[in-house]
Amino acid sequence: MDAASSDLSSPLGMNRREPRPWRTKVLVGRGLGAACLLAIGGLALYVTFVDDPLGGEPHALVPIEARTPAAPPRDRAASAASRPDGAAPAEPQARASATEVEAQSGVAVVRPSGAAAPASVIIQVPGAPAAKLQPAPDERLAERSRSGILPRIGADGSRPAQVYARPPDALLTSGARPAARIAVLVGGLGVSDSVTAEAIAKLPAPVTLGFSPYGGDAGKHVAGARGDGHEVMLQAPMEPFDYPDNDPGPHTLTTDAKAQDNMARLHWAMGRFAGYVGVVNAMGSKMTADEAALAPVLGEIGARGLLFLDDGSSSRSRAETVGAAVQTPTARADLVLDRVPRPDAIDKQLAMLETIARQRGVAIGSAGSLPVTIERIAQWARTLEGRGVLLVPVSSAYEGRR
């Protein structure tokens, strides 16, 4: 019986071959599994036998060619002759001098002897930490009074002029002296907050700052200046010749006042803030010219372990003579730098101060706190040490001047 008749003679629903879908799924799954195994095996063989440390990541290969060192430059005439057009090769770019490099970078190289290659040099790099001044007031040097804390000589002999001074420059302590030293005092600070902040920020730390006792926040400003490494001095108001038309203030020391009255005024000024190395006159052309009136004032300043600086504004001053008589360390500024407050005039005075320093070994300049003065001194100071001249605080300029 053929298949067709068999199907016709079989009972309905019996002996029929049903399709088996699960077999199809098994076959497809096995095929996919085999393909995965083949892919993994191929990848393993590739990693094993192919040197690809980047693991197939996108990359590019760049050849590195060895170059022959350039031949030394020949004579310009020979170089020109070798060129087809006979033209001379272009000039190489000029190299900056050492001074130019120092000026552009702000790095100061101090050459003590002024020579090109001295036995020792001091290199000062911008951003170096400021010299640390001793905290003030130092209890050993503090006398409490109705006028505030006054400076005094300590029981161990310590003097405010030494304890509160800016530490000596490394060049001075190394034994290698520079060709010249210059000290600059910038006064009139402590009254205007903005002017005081500008002076502290722009002037180099060796510049000594003079503070008026009339400033409301003088103590805060003095602490800020000393924190930045500036040595400070107290400006004592003194009588000028045109007083009272030109009035330094209610606590002015005058020539016709009794000695005890001038002492009370001086103590009032001394008690406004602490940490100064000495006293400098504010005005005072008449007071500094009167030896009898000035002697007890300078005597008191010296007895308290302080220095006195004559700002050089009056040609009639007798301060150095009186200071020697009462044994108070006294110096006089060689030049007032901004007597004419113009940039060209200030620059001329600064150049003259350098000349004096080279002739004598040390010079002192005094100035006010006008913006033009601060700007010119700051610019001048940036390259001063590169010319073999060292900027120092006022206290260190007293050596050899007493």
Is residue 375 predicted with pLDDT exceeding 90?
yes
Residue 121 has what pLDDT?
A: 43
Is residue 13 predicted with pLDDT exceeding 70?
no
pLDDT tens column, 263-290: 999 999 999 999 999 999 999 999 999 9
Distance of CA 126 to the CA centre of its chain: 6
**What's the mean pLDDT in 148-160?**
97
Residue 34 has what pLDDT?
A: 65
Residue 110 has what pLDDT?
A: 42
Burial classification of residue 325, based on how many CB atoms lie within 10 Å of its CB (0-12 exposed, 13-18 middle, 19 or more buried):
middle
Residue 115 has what pLDDT?
A: 38
In the chain, what percentage of residues exceed pLDDT 70? 65
Task: Tell me the Ramachandran region of residue 315: left when phi exceeds 0, alpha when psi lies from -120 to 50, beta otherwise.
Answer: alpha
Tokens of 130: 């400021």
Model confidence pTM above 0.75: no
Residue 195 has what pLDDT?
A: 97
Q: Which residues contact 97 (CB under 8 A, 6 or more apart)?
A: none
Residue 78 has what pLDDT?
A: 47
H or E element in which residue 8 lies = helix 3-9
Q: Which residues contact 255 (CB under 8 A, 6 or more apart)?
A: 239, 286, 287, 290, 293
Averaged pLDDT of the chain: 81
**What's the mean pLDDT in 333-359?**
97
pLDDT tens column, 177-191: 677 999 999 999 999
Residue 343's pLDDT band, with cuts at 50, 70 and 90, is very high
Residue 35's pLDDT band, with cuts at 50, 70 and 90, is low
Residue 111 has what pLDDT?
A: 45
Among candidate residues 215, 249, 210, 259, the one with its CA nearest the CA of residue 232: 210
pLDDT tens column, 191-215: 999 999 999 999 999 999 999 999 9
Query: Nearest 5°: phi and psi at 150?
Result: -100, 150
Q: Quote the CA–CA distance of 132 and 378 in Å, as a whole number.
A: 21
Position with higher pLDDT, 382 vs 399: 382
Q: Quote the CA–CA distance of 171 and 178 in Å, as a whole number.
A: 7
Query: Nearest 5°: phi and psi at 172?
Result: -70, -35
Residue 66 has what pLDDT?
A: 54
Tokens of 196: 């005081």
Is residue 117 predicted with pLDDT exceeding 50?
no
Residue 335 has what pLDDT?
A: 98
Position with higher pLDDT, 165 vs 92: 165
pLDDT tens column, 70-94: 555 455 444 444 454 555 455 544 4
Domains of the chain by start residue, with CATH = 99-127+141-397 (3.20.20.370)
Sign of CA dihedral 114, 115, 120, 124: positive
Position with higher pLDDT, 194 vs 400: 194
**What's the mean pLDDT in 97-117?**
46
Is residue 108 predicted with pLDDT exceeding 50?
no
Specify the range with the lowest mean pLDDT, choosing from 214-218, 268-272, 363-367: 214-218
Using the structure block, give the residue that is written with the tokens 């009794």. 258
Residue 178 has what pLDDT?
A: 73
Is residue 395 predicted with pLDDT exceeding 50?
yes
Residue 48's pLDDT band, with cuts at 50, 70 and 90, is low
Q: Which residues contact 331 (CB under 8 A, 6 or more apart)?
A: 307, 308, 309, 310, 320, 364, 394, 397, 398, 401, 402
Residue 393 has what pLDDT?
A: 97
Residue 145's pLDDT band, with cuts at 50, 70 and 90, is very high
